[in-house]
Amino acid sequence: MKTISIDKSYGGTQGVYVNRSEACDCDMTFAVFVPPQAAEGKRPVLWYLSGLTCTHANVMDKGEYRRLAAELGLIVVCPDTSPRGDHVPDEPDNWQFGKGAGFYVDATEPPFSANYRMYSYITDELPRLLAAEFPVDMDRQGIFGHSMGGHGAITIALKNPDRFRSCSAFAPISHPSVSGWSKPALRKYLGADENTWRAYDTCSLIEDGHRFPELLVDQGTADSFLEDGLRPDELRQACEAAGIPLRLRMQEGYGHSYFFISTFMDDHLRWHAQRLEN
């Protein structure tokens, strides 16, 4: 692991780091905020997964999480959204696929299967690195994210309910198998057999029996991707049918940007802190 930068913030430290990823076969950048309480012992860890076109830096620069994370004693980890590098296959003119659009899947279709293994990176490789290098209590983990990252957070939580105590999302892609902006990506990463996509689709995972104790989702009513891309009503229906408590808050007049995310960031941090401390 190589340290890119460390800055003091609210008594803690905001660091940016690079590791050579075996899962993605490239250098991966990630950010970690460590609160001041970590000087006294291990702290709960909260994963934030970003959306399409983002890197680790978007939420670090615009998410406004450090003040309250420092107060609550939360370590916040912000990974990148895809593999990077000149050797990584990409579609530079397609913002919904390739670099910046890993969709948190383990691709099975060449040439993308060689690098686009974000599920393994997030659930296996990066946690092992964090446990070795940072004062994290791996028995107290939460996960949240935005848009594509909201999709990643909920699907990862549903498949790993024994690892994560809490899960929330801002404007998640709830049903990517049918969403206009994610269906083409799943086909390229996972192949033409749509049954294989179910392992990375929140609504499908719930239909197939995966469960999580409760979910918090905030969604802006002025989000231009609401109907085709995000489909929160389908998430509501899936959770109701499965008996999963879902707190879906439709936030009047808010869009899809970090103006929306930063407005409700404190609510999500408190949601996770309550479940990670108890």
Q: What SS3 state is found at 213?
A: coil
- Say how far apart CA 152 and CA 201 lie, in whole Å: 9
Q: Can 147 be counted among the known catalytic residues?
A: yes
Q: Are 151 and 174 in contact (CB under 8 A)?
A: yes
Q: Can 106 be counted among the known catalytic residues?
A: no
Q: Are 25 and 83 in contact (CB under 8 A)?
A: yes
What pLDDT was estimated at residue 130?
A: 98
Q: Can 177 be counted among the known catalytic residues?
A: no
- Say how far apart CA 38 and CA 134 lie, in whole Å: 9
Give me the amino acid identity at 200.
Y
The neighbouring-strand residues paired with 166 are 142
Pairing of strands 136-146, 12-21: unpaired
What pLDDT was estimated at residue 105?
A: 98
State CA 32 to chain mean position distance. Answer: 14
Pairing of strands 12-21, 2-9: antiparallel
Please list, in sequence order, all residues whose beta carbon lies within 8 angstroms of the beta carbon of residue 12, skipping any fewer than 6 positions away.
Answer: 33, 34, 35, 36, 38, 66, 69, 70
Beta-strand runs (E) in the chain:
2-9, 12-21, 26-34, 43-49, 75-79, 136-146, 164-170, 215-220, 246-251
Would you give per-residue pLDDT tens digits along the chain (278 residues)?
999 999 999 999 999 999 999 999 999 999 999 999 999 999 999 999 999 999 999 999 999 999 999 999 999 999 999 999 999 999 999 999 999 999 999 999 999 999 999 999 999 999 999 999 999 999 999 999 999 999 999 999 999 999 999 999 999 999 999 998 899 999 999 999 999 999 999 999 999 999 999 999 999 999 999 999 999 999 999 999 999 999 999 999 999 999 999 999 999 999 999 999 86
- Say how far apart CA 52 and CA 34 lie, in whole Å: 26
Dihedral angle over CA of 236, 242, 247, 249, nearest 10: 0
The two tokens of residue 138 are 């791996």
Residue carrying structure tokens 């390739």:
98
Catalytic residue among 56, 210, 256, 272, which? Answer: 256
170 by Cβ neighbours in 10 Å (0-12 / 13-18 / 19+) ranks as buried
35 by Cβ neighbours in 10 Å (0-12 / 13-18 / 19+) ranks as buried
Catalytic residue among 82, 147, 179, 204, which? Answer: 147
- Say how far apart CA 34 and CA 83 lie, in whole Å: 24
Catalytic residue among 182, 218, 223, 268, which? Answer: 223
